[in-house]
């Protein structure tokens, strides 16, 4: 891999089930991501986007093929090593925010760090405060998810994904549950964070407005990469 290489998968196959119920969902994917990329993962429902993101996120092991990120062979790694690697290097944003309802916005953002360390520290609190400022929610720190709009909750989820300074954020239809204006705000935020922090984002989406703002589009159809191209021009914010 080159100096800017972040991850590489080769001949990645995922099969679910056994015997007659067996179904192959990913048919030999080859994909490289570089540090700092902003890439959209497109494809019809059922094409394997979530399965691919789940494997890249080390939440699921491939049936065969190779998966290397930051020089670490994640197929050979133990579950404990994979968990530690995930906590340190990968953030997640899902379609539904998955915030904990009894925690404030600030506590939710701190969670990834506090959960690994088993306690909260002043440094974590400062980092979470900074992140909530960055996503435009400085005045919502003490609000619980139930008191925020869908777009605000998803911005908290983006802040939480960034808490441990990951090299990669995997976002699975992050705006799929939002209205147009909130979706555009969340995507503008992701674009800005990508430029400022150099964190690589891979975003599955059906939304042309979202994919148009990504520098690269990767399209999955029936578990195979149909297209992988970089967009030359990009609309300004
Ligand atoms: P997408 O996110 O593009 O809609 P998915 O990755 O969720 O696609 O699903 C791709 C295919 O894999 C679908 O046919 C789905 O039913 C199947 N699938 C996903 N997860 C599982 C699972 N845990 N067990 C069996 N089949 C699964
Ligand atoms: Mg999906």
pLDDT digits (tens, 9 = 90+) for 132-144: 999 999 999 999 9
Compute CA distances 69 → 41, 73, 166, 229, whole Å: 18, 7, 12, 21
Report if residue 32 sits inside a domain: yes
- Find all residues with CB under 8 Å of 162, minimum gap 6, and list them: 91, 131, 169, 193, 197, 199
* Model pLDDT, residue 2: 52
pLDDT digits (tens, 9 = 90+) for 203-235: 999 999 899 999 999 999 999 999 888 654 444
Residue 27 CA to ligand 1 centre (angstroms)? 13
pLDDT digits (tens, 9 = 90+) for 90-99: 999 998 878 9
Provide the whole-model pTM: 0.93
Residue 194 CA to ligand 2 centre (angstroms)? 23
* Structure confidence at residue 197 as a pLDDT band (50, 70, 90): very high
* Model pLDDT, residue 229: 82
Report if residue 1 sits inside a domain: no
- Assess whether pLDDT exceeds 80 at residue 183: yes
DSSP state of 54: H
State the chain's mean pLDDT as an integer.
Answer: 93
- Residue of the CA atom closest to atom 24 of ligand 1: 16
Report if residue 155 sits inside a domain: yes
Residues of the domain holding 175: 7-236
List ligand 1's pocket residues with C-beta within 6 A: 16-17, 23, 25, 43, 45-51
- Find all residues with CB under 8 Å of 109, minimum gap 6, and list them: 128, 131, 132, 156, 159, 160, 163
- Assess whether pLDDT exceeds 90 at residue 3: no
The domain tally of the chain equals: 1
Element holding 16 (H helix, E strand): strand 5-16
Ligand nearest to the backbone CA of 96? 2
Report if residue 224 sits inside a domain: yes
- Which atom of ligand 1 lies closest to the CA of 53? 6
Mean pLDDT of 29-49: 96
- Residue of the CA atom closest to atom 26 of ligand 1: 16
Take residue 151 and report the two structure tokens written for it: 């777009």
In this structure, are strands 90-93 and 72-73 parallel, antiparallel, or unpaired? unpaired
Dihedral of CA atoms 151, 114, 173, 29 in degrees, nearest 10, equals: 160
Report if residue 2 sits inside a domain: no
Are the C-beta atoms of residues 110 and 142 closer than 8 Å to each other?
no
Closest by Cα among 175, 171, 230, 229 to 202: 171
Residue 17 CA to ligand 2 centre (angstroms)? 18
Report if residue 103 sits inside a domain: yes
Are the C-beta atoms of residues 10 and 17 closer than 8 Å to each other?
no
Rounded to whole angstroms, the Cα distance separating 52 from 70 reads 18
Mean pLDDT of 115-125: 93
Are the C-beta atoms of residues 191 and 203 closer than 8 Å to each other?
no
- Residue of the CA atom closest to atom 20 of ligand 1: 51
Which among 12, 50, 55, 219 is the best mutation to test ligand 1's pocket, defined by most ligand atoms within 8 Å of the CB? 50
* Model pLDDT, residue 236: 45
* Model pLDDT, residue 237: 44
Q: What is the CATH number of the domain that holds 63?
A: 3.40.50.300
Report if residue 203 sits inside a domain: yes
- 3-class SS at 226? strand
């Amino acid at each position: 891999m080159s100096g800017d290489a972040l991850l590489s998968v080769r001949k990645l196959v995922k099969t679910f089930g056994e015997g007659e119920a067996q179904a192959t969902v990913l048919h030999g994917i080859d994909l490289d991501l570089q540090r700092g990329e902003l890439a959209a993962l497109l494809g019809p429902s059922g094409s394997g986007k979530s399965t691919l993101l789940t494997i890249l996120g080390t939440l699921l092991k491939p049936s065969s093929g190779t998966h290397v990120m930051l020089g670490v062979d994640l197929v050979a790694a133990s579950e404990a090593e994979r968990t530690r690697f995930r906590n340190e290097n990968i953030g997640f944003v899902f379609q539904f925010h998955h915030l904990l309802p009894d925690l404030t916005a600030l506590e939710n953002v701190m969670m990834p760090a506090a959960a690994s360390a088993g306690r909260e520290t002043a440094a974590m609190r400062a980092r979470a405060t900074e992140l909530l400022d960055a996503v435009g929610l400085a005045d919502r720190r003490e609000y619980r998810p139930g008191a925020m709009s869908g777009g605000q909750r998803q911005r908290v989820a983006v802040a939480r994904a960034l808490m441990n300074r990951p090299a990669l954020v995997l976002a699975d239809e992050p705006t799929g549950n939002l209205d147009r204006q909130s979706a555009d705000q969340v995507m503008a935020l992701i674009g800005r964070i990508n430029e400022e922090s150099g964190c690589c984002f891979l975003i599955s989406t059906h939304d042309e407005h979202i994919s148009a703002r990504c520098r690269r589009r990767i399209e999955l159809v029936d578990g195979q990469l149909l297209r992988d191209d970089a967009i030359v021009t990009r609309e300004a914010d």
